[in-house]
Amino acid sequence: MGGLRAREAVQNKAKREAVQEKAKRASSVSSITENGVTSKAACQPLTFIFARGTTEMGNMGSVVGPPVASALASLTNNQVVVQGVDYPASVEGNAELGASGGPTMASLVKQAISQCPNTTVVLGGYSQGAMVVHYAANQLSSGQVKAAVLFGDPLKAQSVGKLSSSAVKEFCAVGDPVCENGFNVMAHLTYGSDAQSAAQFLVQAAGVSS
């Protein structure tokens, strides 16, 4: 009887620790800086690489990158590695149409695949970061990236590398002057509300289940 109780106690402790670890990972995947690829985090079925918008802090920003990462963690039971793109994201960089961060993003994709051959890589970008995705995708081979979500994309009329249109989801708020030639500057700051929808699209496109 005592042995049974001891085993149950050990099992319950293990369950609590597992729950705590999942909660810890879920809370950590919502930071303005994420370096899952460069820090060689444990391989997961899904890898999400994101490029922030102009002048945003960290390498994920705050408007939409962290909310999408958090939603992905929830939908996949934390089976996702998240990496932000370290690039200047300066105002002047907009004129480069993604060239200031595209090569870095493409390199991160290749690193993720090299480290974790069985992972599925998906991309995301907001505003100038969306142009970074376009640039990176044009440098990658077919099959290296499974899908992409873009928010307030200045280049939304263009294709995203070799990805089919069904593998790309564009979010462009009504009145957004960046992606729709609108006049509502505040509309460009609303994409956090699309995080859940974007994450669901990526999970479905990647074929990853919790």
Active site residues: 127, 176, 188
Alpha helices in the chain (DSSP H): 2-28, 65-75, 102-115, 128-139, 195-206
Check: CB of residue 108 under 8 Å from CB of residue 38. Answer: yes
Estimate to the nearest angstrom the gap between the alpha carbon of 13 and the chain centroid: 33
Check: CB of residue 170 under 8 Å from CB of residue 156. Answer: yes
Q: What angle is formed at CA 159 by the lines to CA 155 and CA 163, rounded to 5 degrees? A: 135
